[in-house]
């Protein structure tokens, strides 16, 4: 079994996201003088893929249905019949629904009919709806009524990577927990659990390097760790081994060369660097992130924050424009057929259009020849034009120049 499935967190303490862990402990372990308070009837988990939203939902399902849980504790025992069946995925009262393939109103109506029935053996029926943003508008409206007045034995856990597509009416009925990209410390904590379980010999530097390559995702990080373990064939995993596989060290030299190409506005040099990366099998996305990291350090240096750079080759305006181009390229690289194409286009655009050229307004047919006195610009005319300031609109350049002449 692959690592990310074999080492899924099974209780709240195993969750590597510290913020999520603390929030669940505070919500699920509440006690009132008159008795235990019921947990929220609806949760909404939001955040990028691979951060443990589904695993957390199953932990909640175990916590509310555990028959051997200690009083006042939020942690499931993981040994009782309910916990074991939920872990195995065969509990009849914990229903997982993929909204991408069950997105219509008919599916939600069927859910509403079944939810009225009491649980077969558990305390609560738990509905885990993944990618909930895929539901149609009609399906959301049907789900809303159930969320407003759910049976006492029912609980909903909604998960999505695109919270902006979830209607505000649904959001207002749920306890919202946001899953952020994992920090390096959280990733190392997660990998350490795998390393201990598999008895892997690996250095701390190597673990931190894998965490850097994971881009904040627990699942992606576990896959990378598994790849490195397979490559090591039982030998100790070191930072040098990971550098050899992912060419991490050589990337730093290419980053310096790329920044120099940007400074000289040399598109040919920049495209050549990308071609070399592809030939050597180096991860272009990781390279792009390192370029952006270096630009960020340069930007902070130019405003007096952090270590001052001895040689600053790009202006703040150039860095801002380059960041926008590279950020867009990073997004497009996830879906394009040729991973290098978006960054190549960004290089060409930056190097061939060094400044935003002012847009000249076409001269009206038959308009008189425009003459401007030396040292006077249209911008300065607009700045002192009372009409432009008071009426919040601008004259055409020709109108200003006619007034001047």
CA distances from 351 to 132, 266, 341 (A): 42, 6, 15
Q: What is the pLDDT of residue 250?
A: 61
Co-location of 190 and 273 in the same domain: no
**Cα–Cα distance measured from residue 81 to residue 94, given in angstroms and rounded to the nearest whole number:** 13
Domain tally, the chain: 4
Q: How far is CA 210 from CA 37, 226, 333, 353, in A?
A: 42, 11, 21, 37
Do residue 71 and residue 169 come from a single domain? yes
300 and 190 both lie in a single domain: no
| Same domain, yes or no: 171 and 252 | no
In a domain, 366, yes or no: no
Residues 317 and 232 in one domain: no
**Residue 48 sits in the same domain as residue 167:** yes
pLDDT tens-digit readout, 18-47: 899 999 988 887 644 444 457 888 999 999
CATH number at residue 295: 1.20.272.10
Q: How do residues 236-266 score in pLDDT, each as one tens digit?
A: 888 888 877 765 556 777 888 899 899 999 9
Average pLDDT over residues 311-318: 79
pLDDT at position 172 over 60: yes
User: How high is the mean pLDDT of the chain?
Assistant: 81
Tell me: pLDDT of 344 over 90. yes
Q: How many CB atoms lie within 10 A of CB 367?
A: 13
Range of the structural domain that residue 123 is part of: 3-178
Residue 2's pLDDT is what? Answer: 86
In a domain, 364, yes or no: no
**Quick one: average pLDDT of 308-330?**
83
**360, part of any domain:** no
pTM metric for this prediction: 0.66
pLDDT of residue 176 exceeding 70: yes
Of 46-50, 100-104, 130-134, the one with minimum mean pLDDT is: 100-104
Residue 394 has pLDDT above 70, yes or no: no
* pLDDT of amino acid 111: 85
Q: What pLDDT sits at residue 1? A: 73
Instruction: Please check whether residue 367 lies inside any domain of the structure.
Output: no
pLDDT tens digits for range 62-81? 999 998 888 778 889 999 99
Higher-confidence position of 350 and 394: 350
Least confident of 34-48, 74-88, 190-204, 267-281: 34-48
Q: Are residues 14 and 140 in the same domain?
A: yes
Same domain, 101 and 56: yes
The larger pLDDT score, comparing residue 387 to residue 275, is at 275
Question: Which CATH number does the domain housing residue 229 bear?
Answer: 1.10.8.60
Nearest to 142 by CA among 99, 94, 101: 99
Catalogue the E-assigned strands of 6-163. Answer: 31-32, 35-36, 42-46, 94-98, 125-130, 154-160
Residues 150 and 96 in one domain: yes
Q: Does residue 357 lie within any of the structural domains?
A: no
> Cα–Cα distances in Å, from 81 out to 12, 39, 84, 202, 369?
19, 21, 5, 37, 90
Could you tell me the pLDDT band of residue 310, with boundaries at 50, 70 and 90? low
Residues found in the chain: 405
Q: Residue 267's pLDDT is what?
A: 93
Residue linked to tokens 């996830």 = 334
Q: What per-residue confidence (pLDDT) applies to 30?
A: 61
Of residues 215 and 142, the one with the higher pLDDT is 142
Q: Are 135 and 162 in contact (CB under 8 A)?
A: no
Q: Is 365 inside a domain boundary?
A: no
CA–CA–CA angle 227, 232, 238 (5° rounding): 100
């Amino acid at each position: 079994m692959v690592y990310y499935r074999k080492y899924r967190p099974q209780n709240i303490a195993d969750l590597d996201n510290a913020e999520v862990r603390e929030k669940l402990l505070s919500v699920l372990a509440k006690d009132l003088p008159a008795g235990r308070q019921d947990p929220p009837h609806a949760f909404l988990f939001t955040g990028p893929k691979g951060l443990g939203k589904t695993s957390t939902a199953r932990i909640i399902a175990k916590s509310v249905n555990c028959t051997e849980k200690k009083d006042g504790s939020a942690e499931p025992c993981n040994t009782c019949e309910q916990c074991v069946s939920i872990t195995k995925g065969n509990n009849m009262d914990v229903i997982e629904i993929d909204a991408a393939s069950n997105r219509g109103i008919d599916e939600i109506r069927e859910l509403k009919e079944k939810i009225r029935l009491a649980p077969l053996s558990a305390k609560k029926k738990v509905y885990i709806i993944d990618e909930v943003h895929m539901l149609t508008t009609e399906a959301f409206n049907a789900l809303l009524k159930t969320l407003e007045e759910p049976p006492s034995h029912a609980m909903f856990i909604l998960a999505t990577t695109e919270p902006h597509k979830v209607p505000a009416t649904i959001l207002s009925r749920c306890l919202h927990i946001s899953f952020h990209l994992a920090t390096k410390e959280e990733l190392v904590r997660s990998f350490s659990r795998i390393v201990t379980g598999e008895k892997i010999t690996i250095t701390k530097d190597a673990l931190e390097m894998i965490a850097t390559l994971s881009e904040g995702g627990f699942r992606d990080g576990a896959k990378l760790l598994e790849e490195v373990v397979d490559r090591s064939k039982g030998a100790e995993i070191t930072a040098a081994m990971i550098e050899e596989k992912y060419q991490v060290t050589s990337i730093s030299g290419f980053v310096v060369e790329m920044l120099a190409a940007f400074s000289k506005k040399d598109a040919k040099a920049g495209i050549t660097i990308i071609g070399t990366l592809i030939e050597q099998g180096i991860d272009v996305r990781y390279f792009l992130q390192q370029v952006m990291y270096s630009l960020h350090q340069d930007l902070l240096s130019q405003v007096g924050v952090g270590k001052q750079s001895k040689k600053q080759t790009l202006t703040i305006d150039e860095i801002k424009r380059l960041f926008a181009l590279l950020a867009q390229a990073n997004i497009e690289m996830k879906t394009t057929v040729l991973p290098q194409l978006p960054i190549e286009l960004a290089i060409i655009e930056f190097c061939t259009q060094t400044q935003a050229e002012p847009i000249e307004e076409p001269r009206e047919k038959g308009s008189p020849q425009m003459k401007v006195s030396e040292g006077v610009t249209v911008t300065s005319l607009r700045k002192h034009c009372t009409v432009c300031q008071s009426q919040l609109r601008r004259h055409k350049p020709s109108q200003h120049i006619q007034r001047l002449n």
